[in-house]
Amino acid sequence: MLRGVVVRPGLGSPREAEWRDTVRAAGSTSLEKLLSQNESLVREESARLATELRAILADLPEGAYGLAIGHSPPTECGLYGLTGSSYAPLKKCGEFSIVQVKGGRFDVESMEA
């Protein structure tokens, strides 16, 4: 079970330079535009990040809450890998609520500040 502050290095990306180049070329952090610009990056990173998110969520006891702090576009990319759905880029200080429901499916809601 997680207690206190936990640093998860797997939520970072060893491909940060490639992300920056892709965002610059796409002119946006929209997942759809990033997919059209560099599909392999988004698909590979979304699978990797979803694995990290699943591990974090599995460590939380039922009914517990956690807070993960990150930035776009990897945040939306991880959710894409977790749910198969695309989410709009978060605004500054925005957040997503992730709830695991019966059957292992995840519901995600944007909670803009």
Give the per-residue pLDDT at 67. 66
Token representation of residue 16: 């940060």
The helix/strand/coil state of 46 is helix
More confident residue, 51 or 63: 51
**Percentage helix, strand, coil, to 5, in the chain?**
50, 10, 40
For residue 18, the surrounding DSSP H or E stretch is helix 16-26
The confidence band for 50, taking pLDDT boundaries of 50, 70 and 90, is very high
Integer Cα distance of 102 and 32 in angstroms: 29
Mean pLDDT of all residues in the chain? 85
Reported as a single tens digit per residue, the pLDDT across 5-24 is 778 888 889 999 999 999 99
The confidence band for 92, taking pLDDT boundaries of 50, 70 and 90, is confident
Token representation of residue 57: 């969520």
Give the per-residue pLDDT at 22. 97
Vertex 8: Cα angle to 3 and 111 (nearest 5): 80
